[in-house]
Structure formats: C-alpha cells, structure tokens
C-alpha cells in the first residue's frame, strides 16, 4: 500500500486542514500525490513532460506539495473554492503559476508555505 508523506510540519498542518475539510464536507481530503523521490520525479517527467517539473526541481521532492482530488482538482468547484478560502489558515497555498489563469494552471496543486 502506498503511503503519502510530507515534511513533519507540513504533515501536521495537513492533518488540521483535513479535519477542517472533513467537518465541512463529511469526507476527508482526497490526495493523489505528495512526496516524490527523485526516481518518481524522473518517471513523472518522462510520462508528462509538459505537466511535471524538471526532475530535481519538483516541490514534491521537498515533501512540501500535495496534489488533491475529490473536486479540489476542478477550479471553481465548491471544494476548490473552500480550499482557496481556507487553506492558508493551515499554511497551504496555491502558487500563482498553478492558479486559474496562471502560467501552468493546476487547481489540484497546493504547497505548504510559499516555495515556488
């Protein structure tokens, strides 16, 4: 079974974010990606070169980024709007490049702190 991982402070904040999200929607956050070791970065870049970061530069490699699903991955959805309004209280942000209208829109991508 694959387990997601984040840096300790990011993981603690993610747990609080998840509890708030669960209280609002009745389901936990849906996560598709978190920490990506270098080999996984190489694989992601090979499969999705226009979407994945160049290996060695991925925010996922620092264990400070998550990719979310369950509606959060759709910009403008109720779940995405809730994240946009609430995630910063828990230290998570959607970088400008990933936001709607950004350089590379990825509504599913959120980072702990502003690291982009």
73 token code pair: 């991955």
Query: Dihedral through CA 91, CA 49, CA 97, CA 60, nearest 10?
Result: 10
DSSP of 9-23, one letter per residue? HHHHHHHHHHHHHHH
- Tell me how far apart the alpha carbons of residues 61 and 38 are, in angstroms, rounded to a whole number: 7
106 catalytic, yes or no? yes
User: What is the radius of gyration, based on Cα positions, of the chain?
Assistant: 13
Active-site residue, from 24, 103, 106, 111 = 106
What are the residue numbers of the active site? Answer: 106
């Amino acid at each position: 079974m694959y387990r997601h991982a984040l840096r300790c402070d990011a993981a603690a904040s993610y747990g609080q974010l998840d509890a708030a999200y669960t209280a609002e929607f009745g389901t936990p956050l849906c996560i598709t990606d978190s920490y990506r070791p270098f080999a996984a970065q190489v694989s992601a870049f090979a499969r999705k070169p226009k979407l994945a970061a160049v290996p060695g530069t991925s925010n996922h490699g620092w264990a400070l980024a998550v990719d979310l699903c369950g509606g959060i991955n759709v910009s403008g959805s109720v779940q995405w709007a809730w994240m946009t309004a609430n995630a910063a209280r828990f230290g998570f942000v959607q970088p400008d490049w990933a936001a709607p209208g950004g350089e590379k829109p990825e509504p599913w991508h959120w980072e702990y702190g502003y690291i982009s």
